[in-house]
Amino acid sequence: MVTSTVTKAWQFTGGAITDTAEEIEAKLALMPEYERDCHLFYRLVISRWHPGPGLAAWRNFGFCVCFDEEEEMELGRQYQMLVRRKCTFKEFYAAYESSTLLALFESKGLRTDFRHLDDVLRGSPLRFKSVWSLKSFVLQEELEATPTLPVAVDYGFVNCKKPADFAALKSLYKKVFQSRQADPIELHEAAIGGRLLEYIETLMKLKQSDSKKFQGLLRNHYPLRTESEFEQPVC
């Protein structure tokens, strides 16, 4: 099944029908990073799958803006229509590399009305607000997952002195992203404004003891700088 998926996607993007799975992987390893990203994403899309939070593609192709699995599936369907019927692989790769995937969607008459999809796709694959990597991190089930440095600094994980603090902070952010009242961009703005606890307490009521604990954990160095609201992509 895996071999079939690899060869099917490779041929779909213009690869030689005679290439074996091993030859395909060797060729992908020599490709520019962003072209390889697109090839690997095509494997998912043409198989009617979509990436999860543990894959860089979940953020890079905008699935991080979806509230739930249903929205992710709908965005996946839009990508399926785009790559199967509306554009060539070269067009898709060029749009991804130049951060114009949103414009490609719009030019083909496909849905782009997912909240904040424009924020991600107009920066991807070069620049992302750190909140999207935060969301990817806290929604991962893998125990060994760790936050990127911008996430750790901006959202308080560097303040955690013990595993229990780290787990509590991760759980808190997970609740934020699972709340329909929450807005990731507002959370981001709260972070760079040094108002994380204030914003989170507009979404949920915390026990007095928890509020005091999180007051310390949610401290960051903002507002001090202007450039670091974005982070470089981390695979």
**How do residues 17-39 score in pLDDT, each as one tens digit?**
999 999 999 999 999 999 999 99
In this prediction, residue 103 carries a pLDDT of: 98
pLDDT in tens, 118-139: 999 999 999 999 999 999 999 9
End residue of a domain, out of 110, 126, 142: 126
Domain co-membership, 174 together with 69: no
Domain co-membership, 48 together with 109: yes
What is the total count of domains within the chain?
A: 2
Where in the sequence is the domain holding 24, given as residue range(s)? 2-126
End residue of a domain, out of 126, 151, 174: 126
Contact 1, 59 (CB under 8 A): no
Helix 184-192 × helix 196-203 angle, to 10°: 150
| Among candidate residues 178, 165, 169, 166, the one with its CA nearest the CA of residue 139 | 178
In this prediction, residue 196 carries a pLDDT of: 98
End residue of a domain, out of 126, 158, 189: 126
pLDDT at position 155 over 70: yes
**Cis ω on the peptide bond leading into residue 32 (within 30° of 0)?**
no
Domain co-membership, 101 together with 60: yes
**Cis ω on the peptide bond leading into residue 163 (within 30° of 0)?**
no
Neighbours of 88 (CB within 10 A): 11
Contact 201, 215 (CB under 8 A): no
Domain co-membership, 160 together with 101: no
Domain co-membership, 112 together with 204: no
Domain co-membership, 121 together with 155: no
Domain co-membership, 135 together with 122: no
Calculate the dihedral angle through the C-alpha atoms of 218, 222, 227, 232, rounding to the nearest 10 degrees: -10
pLDDT at position 234 over 80: no
Cβ burial of 85 (10 Å; 0-12, 13-18, 19+) is exposed
Residue 222 and residue 140: Cα distance in Å, rounded? 26
